[in-house]
Amino acid sequence: MKDAATDRTVDDHRAAVAPRRMARLDRAEALRLLGTVSLGRIVFTQQALPAIRPVNHLMDGEDVVVRLHDGATLASVVTPAHTSGVVVAYEADVIDPETHVGWSVVVTGYAYRVTDEGELARFTGLLRPWVEHPSVNDALRIRPDLVTGFRLTP
């Protein structure tokens, strides 16, 4: 099978990269790396099934903060009525497509809608949406209970 972007076969690509070593990251290093990127994927439950959406984020201490817009599926899942939070996972990575070297971090915890007007205004100023939408006006805070990460090295 040919990869149209590189004009190589899939088998050629597999043979070009030797197996990588995987090293676990501690919590502090995983969260530090998460703060070096702005785009990740949030995993949540939609109609009793897992759903994934790409979103941008910022770190607020150990918490991950993402912006929401009216009408978004994720905004309807985390309503103000969910005062105890909703379990989600958040994943971000930087893995080189050629060398397969890099890292990946997954945060699992409870997500809460940001309701404090001061915090919301601060996040609005710091976190620009990666997709233009006229009604981006809410934010979601993920408090990590589990933080796992690994680094891939040659």
Nearest to 112 by CA among 135, 144, 137, 73: 144
Model pLDDT for residues 129-147, shown as the tens digit of each residue: 666 655 556 788 999 999 9
Q: How far apart are CA 72 and CA 87, in angstroms?
A: 17
- Give the containing element (helix H, strand E) for 74: helix 73-77
Model pLDDT for residues 31-90, shown as the tens digit of each residue: 999 999 999 999 998 888 899 988 889 999 999 999 876 555 666 666 565 567 889 999
Q: How far apart are CA 72 and CA 48, in angstroms?
A: 17
Q: How far apart are CA 102 and CA 141, in angstroms?
A: 26
pTM reported for the whole predicted model: 0.80
